Amino acid sequence: MTCPNQFKIIKDSLPLGVSLLAVSKGHHQESIRKLSSYGQLDFGESRLQDAIPKKIDLNDLKQLRWHFVGTLQKNKVRRVIQEFDFIHSVDSLPLLERISRISEEEQKTPSIFLQVKFRDDPNKGGLLKQDLLKSWSKIISFSNINLLGLMTIPPIALNSYERKELFCECRRLANHLELKDCSMGMSNDWQEAIEGGASWIRLGSLLFGKRQT
């Protein structure tokens, strides 16, 4: 179920400079088609094998931009680079290195967000801030990488105030590294994320309803 009214309300409320990624994982391609008819161009998927049949079905919509937001396994890197324009979930240096190498082979330059983990969270991956800083000169030396910014997901247990604090930390780190973008905020915390300095919010259930799979 796509909610066009909800989509319009959210879209019209976004401050200048905040982009909306519609995370369509778990939803049918017809929901994507419908939302695209309201002007949404950016769609996010978290599983390659689910995204491919949708992309084939939607192949007539050449204007769509595809974002990978899920955990990226080593053996899926080449296909993800071939199929997606953006990767929000680059959570380690070896993964970035691999993306760079394969992108060069594929003659692609994907737009990349480095996923950063600002709090202990056994359920989530991500680079630690100190490791990111330590490896920074190496990170920016990789070819065929369009490094846009940082991505983060707060641990589930945080309250609204703590989430906003975490989002602000992410924005400060991005600014320090002179990165433009912060991909942060989902259906339950997108307003805090915008207050904290998000430039991309990633909404699934708020736009599409409860996931079907």
Ligand X SMILES: *Cc1c(COP(=O)(O)O)cnc(C)c1O
Positions touching ligand X (CB under 6 A) are 23, 25, 46, 69-70, 186-188, 202-206
CB of 69 to ligand X, least distance (A): 4
CB of 208 to ligand X, least distance (A): 8
Which distant-in-sequence residues (6+ apart) come within 8 Å of 198 by Cβ? Answer: 18, 167, 171, 182, 183, 184, 185, 190
Write the DSSP symbol of residue 141. Answer: T
Q: Given the complex with ligand X, which of 176 and 211 has the nearer CB atom?
A: 211
Neighbouring C-beta atoms of residue 82, cutoff 10 Å: 14
Q: Given the complex with ligand X, which of 18 and 101 has the nearer CB atom?
A: 18
CB of 84 to ligand X, least distance (A): 13
Distance CA 184, CA 115 (A): 10
Neighbouring C-beta atoms of residue 102, cutoff 10 Å: 18
CB of 213 to ligand X, least distance (A): 12
Q: Given the complex with ligand X, which of 29 and 187 has the nearer CB atom?
A: 187
Supply angle C-alpha 141, 120, 142, rounded to 5. 10
Q: Given the complex with ligand X, which of 59 and 122 has the nearer CB atom?
A: 122
